[in-house]
Chains A and B, each alone.
Chain A
C-alpha cells in the first residue's frame, strides 16, 4: 500500500542553521504531496504542497520539490528560527476524497 517515510527526529539546530528533513514515498500513480506543521497542543496546518512532478512548493521560507524519479519530497529552509520549532509531517494524497497518508513526523527544535 501507499506509505510515507520521513527521517527520524528529533532534529536540533541553532538559529539561522540550514534545515533538511527527508521524505520519501511509495505510491501507485501520481499522488499529491504535502508538508504539514503541528505546533504543541494544536492541530495540523498546511505548510506547502505540490501536486505534480517537478513542482516546487514554498511557504514561509520553506521549500520542497516533488521528485518523481527519487520518489522524494524533502523539506528545506535556509535559515531556521526559534519559532519554527514544531513537528513536521510529510503526507501524500492518492486521490481526491481519500485520506491523507502521513509519515511519522519529525520534531524540530531550534535554539537561539
Chain B
C-alpha cells in the first residue's frame, strides 16, 4: 500500500534556529502534498498545499516566510520552520495524494513533534 515517511519524528531546537521536516512518498508519486499542524487536543489545521514543481498555496493566516514549503520532486516535500519560537511548538503532519483522481483518502506521515526551547 501507499506509504508516507516523515522525518524526524521529533525534534527539539533552540529559539531562533530553523528546522526542516521531510515528507517522502515511498512507493508512489505524490503530485500533491498537504501540511497540517495539530495543537494539543485539537483538530488538524491545514497549513498549505504543495504541488510538485510549483509554489505552495498557503491557508489564510499561515506565514509563508516562516513556514517554507518545497516540493521539488514527486516523492519529497519539505517544511522548514524558520527562526522558530516556542509558539511554533506543535505536531506537524503531512499527507500525500497520488494524483489519480483518488477520492479514497490520502496517506499520512507519522508526524513530527517540534519543541522549541
Contacts and interface: CB of A to CB of B under 8 A. Distances in A.
Contacts of A103: 43
A67 to B, nearest CB: 18
A41 B60 CA distance: 27
A70 to B, nearest CB: 21
How many residues of B sit at the interface, in one of the four size bands?
Answer: 20 to 34
A45 B40 CA distance: 18
A96 B44 CA distance: 19
Interface residues of A, number: 25
Contacts of A32: 103-105
Nearest to A51: B103
Contact of A96 (B41, B42, B97, B108): B97
Interface of A: 32, 34, 36, 41-46, 49, 51, 89, 91, 93, 95-97, 99-105, 107
24 contacts: A32-B103, A34-B105, A36-B108, A42-B110, A43-B6, A44-B95, A46-B105, A49-B105, A51-B103, A91-B105, A93-B103, A93-B105, A95-B103, A96-B99, A96-B101, A97-B32, A97-B101, A99-B49, A100-B95, A100-B105, A102-B43, A103-B43, A104-B42, A107-B41
